[in-house]
Copies of this chain bind each other. A is one copy, B any other.
């Protein structure tokens, strides 16, 4: 028998619950800061940034439904965002050959330039917001986050 000399420890389910709340708080706090900076410094929004990022990765264009799937944003919202980007001259809609009803959205060259600037700012902000983590910390955190993957992906 091991003597009961240690202080009572919390059940593992409580530890994991506290960890989840910490994870949510951390990502929420950083995301709020990114939203604030996109708004204040670039008069744009996180969903618009995400749409530009997706279009930037697919230079041949994406259908609204593809954008919506990629970004977990509703079709209606994606359409509204693409409308704004189009009015801005940052995106354009092109017809899909052989499908009169479908349209692809693409970044214009000006949109690509604007996105490159935004992406650089976004990377610099994260470099600052995560400066408390050095390369070793980042590697360990990455590995530990990866350990949570099996459970949900298997379903």
Instruction: Show the binding face of A for B, using Cβ within 8 Å.
Output: 9, 12-20, 22-24, 26-33, 72, 122-124, 126-135, 137-138, 140-142, 144-153, 155
Contact = CB atoms under 8 A, between A and B. Distances in A.
Interface SS, A side:
helix
23 contacts: A9-B135, A12-B134, A13-B123, A13-B127, A16-B123, A16-B126, A17-B126, A17-B127, A19-B130, A19-B133, A19-B138, A20-B30, A23-B27, A23-B30, A24-B31, A32-B72, A129-B151, A130-B148, A132-B151, A133-B144, A137-B147, A140-B140, A144-B144
A12 B132 CA distance: 12
B30 A127 contact: no
Given A130-B19, A130-B20, A133-B19, A148 B30 contact: yes
A69 to B, nearest CB: 13
Contacts of A149: 26, 29, 132
- The 8 A-B residue pairs with the shortest CB-CB distance, nearest first, are A13-B127, A132-B147, A16-B130, A27-B27, A26-B145, A141-B144, A19-B138, A20-B126
